[in-house]
């Protein structure tokens, strides 16, 4: 079980969190023209990479904040955790 450092609460066990996918995906702005391809990429296309991955987790059984976690998908090493509004 992973040990994740919530930037708001501190080190907590994985079972307090829920996974939220790739944190680098940006939602297209509202009311803007989006091509079929760009929209499809946004909705469906995700990297399945080996190595460093910046991802979202929500501390659902804690402060309920969405946070960013930089994790190695192969070794589970966590390099960094960030608040929702912070960039790597």
- In the complex, the residues that contact another protein under the rule CB under 8 A are 1-3, 13, 18, 20, 27-28, 30-31, 34, 39, 42-44, 56, 58, 60, 64-66, 75-76, 78, 84-85
48 or 85: whose CB is closer to another protein?
85
> Burial code of 4-33, b = ≥16 C-beta within 10 A, e = fewer?
bebbeeeebeeebbeeeeebeeeeeeeeee
13 or 47: whose CB is closer to another protein?
13
CB 65, min distance to another protein, A: 7
């Amino acid at each position: 079980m992973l040990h994740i450092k919530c930037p708001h609460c501190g080190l907590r066990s994985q079972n307090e969190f829920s996974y939220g996918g790739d944190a680098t995906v940006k939602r297209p702005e509202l009311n803007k023209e989006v091509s079929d391809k760009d929209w499809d990429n946004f909705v469906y296309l995700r990297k399945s990479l080996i190595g460093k991955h910046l991802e979202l987790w929500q501390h659902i059984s804690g402060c309920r904040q969405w946070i960013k976690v930089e994790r190695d998908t192969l070794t589970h090493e966590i390099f960094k955790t960030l608040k929702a509004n912070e960039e790597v």
